Chains A and B, each alone.
Chain A
Amino acid sequence: MAKPRIKVPKMAKVGEIVEIKSMISHKMESGRRKDKKTGKVIPRKIINALKVTFNGKLVFSASLHPSVSANPYFAFDFKVPGSGDMVFEWTEDGGKVITAKKSLKAA
């Protein structure tokens, strides 16, 4: 799986609300499609969760279902409490976890 893309501002003011964006390359195989050649159902394989924390505290999280589009994209807001690290965790069916981290400096 390719590297996820995340957008977190490098600097922001304490108390400022900033938009955070994330996107990860994934087919989101719904488990409802049939293989054109064999006629068999292609097994479900999706990213089923995204969890975003800042210095260990939850900012945003979501359970994802098969009706989330391929290459899951999520943008949300974040109220800057101070400097720290934002950590993103995507969990795939089967338990594989992909993580990404960005530091933010508060002024």
Chain B
Amino acid sequence: MTPISGIKMMKKMIKLTVGVLLLAGFSTSAVLAADGKSEAVKPAAEFGLDEIWSGYHFAKKETQALQDDDFDNPGNLWLEEGAALWSKVDGDAKKSCQSCHNDASKSMKGVATRYPVYYAPRKKLINIEQRINLCRTEQMKAKPWKWKSKQLLAMAVYVNNQSKGMPVNIRITAENKPFWEKGKAFYYKRRGQLDMSCAHCHEKYYGKHIRSNVLSQGHINGFPTYRLKWQKPGSVHRRFKGCNKQVRAKPYGLGSDEYNNLELYVKWRGNGLPVETPAVRN
């Protein structure tokens, strides 16, 4: 089996599971309505949250309106740029993403619901940004895009957006479990001068004000997220850095293994929340 047909198989399986979920939804309409925006999602596994809310739920209505309107959402400027890059030939192999993956709305559908994934050749996790750059260097013989470049952000928005509305569905397997464990340990470790863990703000005190901010549960179903503060979209890792700095702790690098492990764990906490990329947040 070639890698591509392997992917196709996986995609079929995902479609099937989504189909089953939808069917199940008909009998209990509440399941369908729960999008973490106006109705909480029930966690499938037991951890520190009894109900799961998207960051959308905690945003002001004006910010929600910015996200909801397909034209008004400023993240869509990056989405369109990503769409244009998809078919742009680059690198020595003279290929575009489209040359191999054809229609992104089919080939990239569901990808965001299961990343970051274990990548055997490196024996560790890779996230979507790294997967995109792997395709650039290995498949296209092109230069990798810089982490904060407009191109990588735009393509990450585009790839994630193909799963918009699909529930996040991270499964813990023998392969990714050790990394999930590391991510979990990172999440609950107190750090920085304030000696606080992620859980202090996002598990214990979500819904409370931290000055003018309402603390959310810190989910990542909307990334790359257009932040009003950044005035552009930013990656999950950029957000993690900010949250580390907030408690005056040492931030890790963009693309670091530590943040990949944390990304897997945090994404898993949001299982069931629909992908919202590009979300708009403060």
Which residue numbers of A lie inside 8 Å of B, CB to CB?
Answer: 2-3, 5, 7, 21, 23-25, 27, 69-71, 73
Also in contact, A7 and B84, with CB within 8 A (given A69-B231, A70-B232): no
Q: Which residues on the B side are within 8 Å of A3 (C-beta)?
A: 80-81, 84
CB distance from B69 to the nearest CB of A (A): 9
The answer to whether B232 touches A21, judged by C-beta atoms less than 8 angstroms apart, is no
Shortest beta-carbon distance, A46 to chain B, in Å? 13
Q: How far is the CA of A44 from the CA of B87 in the complex (A)?
A: 34
How many chain B residues touch A (CB < 8 A): the figure is 12
Give 10 CB contacts A-B under 8 Å.
Answer: A2-B80, A3-B81, A3-B84, A5-B80, A21-B71, A21-B72, A23-B72, A23-B76, A25-B78, A25-B81
Tell me the minimal C-beta distance from A74 to chain B in angstroms. 11
- Chain B, Cβ-Cβ closest to A19: B71
Which A-chain residue is minimally distant from B154 (CB atoms)? Answer: A2
Provide the B84-102 mask, 1 if CB < 8 A to any CB of A, else 0.
Answer: 1000000000000000000
| Residue B77 interfacial (CB < 8 Å) | yes
> Which residues of B are at the interface with A, using a C-beta cutoff of 8 A?
71-72, 74, 76-78, 80-81, 84, 150, 231-232
Q: What are the nearest 6 A-B pairs in CB distance?
A: A70-B231, A25-B77, A71-B74, A2-B81, A21-B71, A7-B71
Bound CA–CA A3/B78 (angstroms): 10
Determine the distance from Cα of A7 to Cα of B72 in the docked complex, in whole angstroms.
Answer: 10
Nearest B residue to A7 via CB reads B71
Beta-carbon nearest neighbor of B70 in chain A: A7
Cβ–Cβ < 8 Å partners of A69 in chain B: 231
How close is B150's CB to chain A, nearest CB, in angstroms? 8
How distant is the Cα of A70 from the Cα of B229 in the complex, in angstroms? 10
In contact, B231 and A5 (Cβ under 8 angstroms): no
Which residues on the A side are within 8 Å of B72 (C-beta)? 21, 23, 73
Cβ-defined partner of A27 (8 Å) among B78, B80, B231 = B231
CB distance from B62 to the nearest CB of A (A): 12
